[in-house]
């Protein structure tokens, strides 16, 4: 609580990394509820601009190195839940 938390995600792809590569981080609260996209990446990072993670997510990954990690600033207990990292690098999914 209160310290930045790193959510690690690594990937391997059999296709060359191009600007078509996309990364989506989704979140579902521990106390049930809607899945929501909290981060999107395609060539540049797009942290969410709405919801509980607004202005608290930063991109710390490096797609050239197979790293799709993000960081969350000032976590609180109510952030607890399931975080899912999804990487697509067409034609490799």
Domain ranges of the chain: 4-88
Enter the pTM of the model. Answer: 0.93
Predicted local confidence at residue 72, as pLDDT: 97
User: Class of the 4-88 domain?
Assistant: mainly beta
51 torsion bin: left (phi>0), alpha (psi -120 to 50), beta (else) = left
| Strand 57-59 to 44-47 pairing | unpaired
Mean pLDDT of residues grouped by 10 in the chain (93 residues)?
92 93 96 91 95 96 97 94 96 82
Question: What is the structure's pLDDT at 32?
Answer: 79
């Amino acid at each position: 609580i209160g310290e930045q938390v790193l959510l690690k995600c690594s990937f391997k792809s059999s296709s060359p990394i191009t600007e078509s590569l996309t990364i989506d981080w989704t979140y579902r609260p521990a106390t049930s509820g809607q899945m929501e996209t909290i981060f999107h990446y395609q060539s540049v990072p797009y942290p969410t601009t709405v919801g509980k993670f607004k202005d608290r997510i930063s991109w710390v990954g490096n797609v050239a190195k197979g790293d799709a990690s993000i960081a969350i600033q000032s976590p609180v207990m109510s952030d607890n839940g399931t975080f899912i990292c999804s990487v697509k690098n067409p034609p490799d999914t």
